[in-house]
Amino acid sequence: MIKDEYKRRTFLGINIKRSSLKAFRSIVMSLTADPPACTVPAAGGSSTHKLVNGGADKLIFKIKSSNNNEYRITPVFGFVDPSGSKDIVITRTAGAPKEDKLVIHFANAPADATDAQAAFAALAPAGNITIPMSATA
């Protein structure tokens, strides 16, 4: 008879040992954006989005934009608590209609981190999500 901790389990199509399940869960991070896309007038406007952490670990994030001339993002760095959410505001100044994107890089937050910008600099991103941005006439 095989001991319980060595029984194979399948999670997201990957076979893992039962004893490794906790470690595996901390690797599988879930960050989503709601709504998943941004549409604002080319004449200027703003859109609020919610970053939702579906995992059991606190996440840290950094947001990058393909167009820093016409878009401002608040906050650029931050934390999202386990099973929590964080609002971000995308503000566009007037300009020609154009398709752009935000890329949100994220990782597990260090337990003692209080400054997201400083802590993120020492980490390698573990995942990212993209929010397409469309400025309409």
pLDDT tens digits, residue range 13-72?
Answer: 444 444 444 445 444 568 999 999 999 999 999 999 999 999 999 999 999 999 999 999
**Is pTM, for the whole model, over 0.85?**
no
Q: What CATH number has the domain bearing residue 115? A: 2.60.40.10
32: how many CB neighbours lie within 10 A of its CB? 13
Three-state DSSP string of the chain: CCCHHHCEEEECCEEEEHHHHHHHHHHCCCEEEECCCEEEECCCEEEEEEEEECCCCCEEEEEEECCCCCEEEECCEEEECCCCEEEEEEEECCCCCCEEEEEEEEEECCCCCCCHHHHHHCCCCCEEEEEEEEEEC
Range of the structural domain that residue 14 is part of: 4-136
What is the pLDDT at residue 30?
87
What is the pLDDT at residue 83?
94
Tens digits of per-residue pLDDT, 66-106?
A: 999 999 999 999 999 999 999 999 999 999 999 999 999 99
Q: What is the domain count for the chain?
A: 1
DSSP β-bridge partners for residue 17: 8
